[in-house]
Amino acid sequence: MKTLIVVGVIFVIALILVNTGLYVVDEREQVIITRFGEVQAVSRTSGLYVKLPFVDTATSYDRRVLRIDAPPERMLDRDINILEIDAYARYQIIDPVQFRKTLQSEENARRVLGQRINAALRAEVAERSREQIIGGDVELDAEGNPVTDDEGNSQVSATENRAIMLSEVRTAIRDELDAEPESFGIVMLDVRIKRADFPGEVSGRVFERMRSDREKIGRKLRAEGEEESRRRRARADRTVEVILAEADQQANRLRGEGEAEAIKILAEALDEDPEFFAFQRSLEAYRSVFNQQTTVILSSEADIFKFLQGPGATP
């Protein structure tokens, strides 16, 4: 019985020693071993490692790219407009010993770096206009065309302006971190804006102003369109009148030439055979008179009947 108790105690002690003397490094982690607050080892390769039981302490930090969600803040742009900026950043722990010494934990890192991100953003937002940050109305000239700079280049879009601004924010944060007396043991990879907009209480007024500006531009464009429409319609009507007048003139000329040619042909035919001409005219008179339902009483000796007396009648 005593032997079983001794074996059980030894087994429990061995289990405790194994549990406290071994630690596992995951492929996503990096582990620092400290002894009475002093760093003894840093393990970055995944595997099973040994440490002194009850003396050494293993602290793990993430090796992956970590995210910081900076708290949304209200900032003033160049024109003293209040903008609500919601940003986030990506960073990575490259020196866990220095990270433990300065920031101590990822929660503390999110708080400290979030404040620095917002401070750098506030400085950059103060140098830009609302259109450059969140977009909106493009500045137009009197003709309704986008305003260009002195070199003839059109305005840069809000997306490109934000990319430039965030690049400068990243550079400012990196310079600030490099200027620290002690490095934080991290590298700032990227800074992005999730949302940039007016606060809710002023959005309605802003949208109303934007709507009125668009309506003014629309009225101007519609007036210019109506003026151009009237000008083109008048030009088309004048062209139609000119074409019709020329067509009438040409028609009258051709009609006169045709009638003159007909009279000439008729005169030539009359000169060649007056008897045939008289016969043709009599036939036309017969067709015109005898087809009507009008009763006409004429003498049989009338000249109109002379071709009805016989084919050889003398005119």
Mean pLDDT of 87-95: 89
Domain boundaries, the chain: 2-62, 66-198, 279-315
For the stretch 107-159, pLDDT in tens is 888 888 888 888 888 888 888 887 777 765 545 555 545 444 444 444 556 67
Contact 32, 100 (CB under 8 A): yes
Q: Is the pTM of this model over 0.75?
A: no
Look at residues 103, 108, 121, 112 and name the one whose alpha carbon lies nearest to residue 170. Answer: 121
Look at residues 85, 88, 15, 81 and name the one whose alpha carbon lies nearest to residue 53. Answer: 15
Look at residues 186, 180, 58, 168 and name the one whose alpha carbon lies nearest to residue 110. Answer: 186
Look at residues 39, 41, 44, 9 and name the one whose alpha carbon lies nearest to residue 26. Answer: 44
Give the CATH H-level superfamily of domain 66-198: Band 7 domain (3.30.479.30)
Look at residues 139, 138, 136, 133 and name the one whose alpha carbon lies nearest to residue 84. Answer: 133
Q: What is the largest CA-CA distance in the chain?
A: 176
Distance, first Cα to last Cα, the chain: 172
For the stretch 215-263, pLDDT in tens is 889 899 999 999 999 999 999 999 999 999 999 999 999 999 999 888 8
